[in-house]
Amino acid sequence: MRITVIGCGYLGATHAAAMADLGHDVLGMEIDRGKRAALSRGEAPFYEPRLDALLASSVESGRLRFTDSYAEVAAFGEIHFVCVGTPQQPESLAADVSQVVAAFTGLAPHLDRPTMVVGKSTVPVGTAARMSSLMAELAPAGADALLAWNPEFLREGFAVDDTLHPDRIVIGVDDSRTEKQLRDFYFPMTDAGTPIIVTDYATAELVKVAANAFLATKISFINAMAEVCEATGADVVDLADSLGYDARIGRRFLNAGIGFGGGCLPKDIRAFVHRAGELGVEDAMTFLRHVDDVNQRQRERVVHVATAMVGGDLSGARVGVWGAAFKPDSDDVRDSPALWVSGQLQLKGASVQVYDPRATVSASHTFPTLSYADSAVEACRDADLVLHLTEWPEFRRIGPAELDGVVARPQLFDGRNVLDLDTWRAAGWTARALGRRSTD
């Protein structure tokens, strides 16, 4: 089919390349000239495993190209996927849906023949109904311009695989024609066994924010347990392993540490709380405020522990930091706990050297005043304390011997609970983590 993808960030660029790879003819709409130029060369403007290869082969085959013209998009596509961002508003918990509104306002006046628009952006519940009214008002095709909402659950670092092999497909529709067309479009995936749920607009919108709220709650639950473990001498990793064997609970998303970040979980739960308030059901969502608070407290606890480990005063202390991205296999530093902690330590007087295998450039744009090292070992040069804050596999491969003679004081804090603290302690290091049994 001839499809278009409006907004080519993490979601849109991956969707566009994946759909081209499946054999569709794809036109991507991206208003940022620099991003459009990179995408047209077959390069992702961010780091995402496998995406560059998929973009390059799709562009080369002629099945994927990019534009900045809504008229061209409308003329080309049979289905238009709206994938623009919905960041948090600067002075509010609410999501900023201005890019969604702009996409529909830009596209709809050009829709002069039967067509379908599919919203994939994560939006406050009620947005699809609003966009449906907007299309009815602006689209010359009238009732032949159909709308569906089809949330996307991709994770950064696994975006290509999650797009090509989703856990489930959820579509919100308000008539049977839309349902049939989207069922046909996704037939290769559903035929291969991917479950599909067809529902109304509001449920489809809610599935996405509810899923992220659940995941965030699971992480904050185990982080809250980590605090209890510290107060009792218990160990949060043993606790999570033991809980995880209960199939009703499951082990995934029970990794205690410095908490969740990124462009989705934090802003989605805040937007959900805000929307619940508008809908008069704020009491039902109060727990999400606590989830957010527990998450923020994790970051503050790391600063507290780091301060204690350097003797109670950060001024003049040298700290080496492993990791800046909000998670491994990504160069995304949006709301990154690692970068937040690094910034706080510096503000409190420490000299901080950060190393990340992929995110140094994006981190230096966000936080230009921090120092960035070229390697994990160099970040630790003369350090009084080493902090492990993003669990890239290369950090797990470093042993105490490699830092022999590099650090000023052999002290390690593991913010992700994946390093073998016993090995470091056996080599004479002071090694700590949140919620772990401490032998120091």
Q: Judge contact between 118 and 148, C-beta under 8 A.
A: yes
**Cα torsion angle, 206, 209, 212, 217, sign:** negative
Residues 70 and 433: their CA atoms lie apart, in Å, by: 51
Give the nearest distance from C-beta 227 to ligand UDX in angstroms: 15
Which residues 318-377 are close enough to bind ligand UDX by CB under 6 A?
A: 326-327
Residue 440 to residues 238, 360, 405, 422, 427, Cα–Cα distance (Å)? 19, 33, 22, 11, 13
Contacts of residue 116, Cβ cutoff 8 Å, sequence gap at least 6: 78, 79, 80, 145, 146, 147, 148, 178, 181, 182
Among 149, 221, 260, 322, binds ligand UDX (CB under 6 A): 260
Per CB under 6 A, 13 contacts ligand UDX: no
Query: What six digits make up the tokens of 399?
Result: 């042993």
Which C-beta is closer to ligand UDX: that of 214 or that of 287? 214
Annotated catalytic residue 264: yes
Nearer to ligand UDX, 132 or 417 (CB): 417
CB nearer to ligand UDX: give 59 or 160.
160
Cβ atoms of residues 12 and 31 within 8 Å: no
Can you tell me the distance from the alpha carbon of 215 to that of 265, in angstroms, rounded to the nearest whole number?
A: 8
- The amino acid occupying position 311 is G
Calpha distance 372→343 (Å, rounded): 12
Q: Give min distance, CB of 210 to ligand UDX, in A.
A: 11
Residue 110's contacts (CB-CB under 8 Å, 6 or more residues apart) are 70, 71, 73, 74, 75
Question: Can you tell me which of 254, 303, 321, 379 binds ligand UDX, judged by CB under 6 A?
Answer: 254
**Alpha helices (H) along 113-200:** 127-138, 159-164, 176-185, 187-191
* CB closer to ligand UDX out of 107 and 387: 387
Q: Across 156-236, where does the E strand assignment appear? A: 169-172, 196-199
List 73, 154, 170, 206, residue binding ligand UDX (CB under 6 A):
154
Report the distance separating Cα 369 and Cα 194, nearest Å.
Answer: 47
Task: Single out the segment in contact with ligand UDX by CB under 6 A; choices: 40-48, 94-102, 147-155, 374-382.
Answer: 147-155
For 106, the 3-state DSSP assignment is: helix
Cβ at position 15, least distance to ligand UDX in Å: 12
Q: How far is CA 47 from CA 171, 213, 333, in A?
A: 29, 26, 11
Q: How far is the CB of 67 from ligand UDX (least distance, A)?
A: 26
78: DSSP letter: S
Q: Does 155 bind ligand UDX (CB under 6 A)?
A: yes
Q: Is 255 one of the binding residues for ligand UDX (CB under 6 A)?
A: yes
156 binds ligand UDX (CB under 6 A): yes
272 binds ligand UDX (CB under 6 A): no
Closest distance to ligand UDX from the beta carbon of 102 (Å): 22
CB contact at 8 A, 140 and 117 = no
Which amino acid type is present at position 353? Answer: Q
Q: Which of 219, 271, 339, 386 binds ligand UDX (CB under 6 A)?
A: 219
Strand partners, 412: 386, 431
Residue 91 beta carbon to ligand UDX: minimum distance, rounded to whole angstroms: 23
Q: Does 264 help bind ligand UDX (rule: CB under 6 A)?
A: yes
The one segment of 92-100, 249-257, 350-358, 428-436 that binds ligand UDX by CB under 6 A: 249-257
Q: What is the Cα 434 distance to its own chain's centre?
A: 23
Residue with tokens 């809610």: 206
The site for ligand UDX, by CB under 6 A, has a size of 19
Catalytic residue among 8, 83, 264, 380: 264
Least Å distance, CB 298 to ligand UDX, is: 8
Q: Does residue number 253 form part of the binding site for ligand UDX (CB under 6 A)?
A: yes
Would you count residue 199 as binding ligand UDX (CB under 6 A)? no
By CB under 6 A, is residue 288 in contact with ligand UDX? no
CB nearer ligand UDX, residue 256 or residue 403: 256
For residue 294, which amino acid is it?
V
Token pair in block for residue 298: 């994790």
Place of tokens 């670092």: 157
Residue 153 in the binding site for ligand UDX (CB under 6 A): yes
Q: Which is nearer to ligand UDX, 226 or 309 (CB)?
A: 226
257 forms part of the interface with ligand UDX (CB under 6 A) = yes
For ligand UDX, the closer of residues 13 and 264 by Cβ is: 264
**C-beta closer to ligand UDX: residue 19 or 215:** 215
Q: Which of 64, 82, 100, 265 binds ligand UDX (CB under 6 A)?
A: 265
| Coil vs helix vs strand at 296 | helix
Would you please indicate which residues are annotated as catalytic (active-site) residues?
264
The residues that touch ligand UDX, with contacts defined as CB under 6 A, are 153-156, 212, 215, 219, 253-255, 257, 259-262, 264-265, 326-327
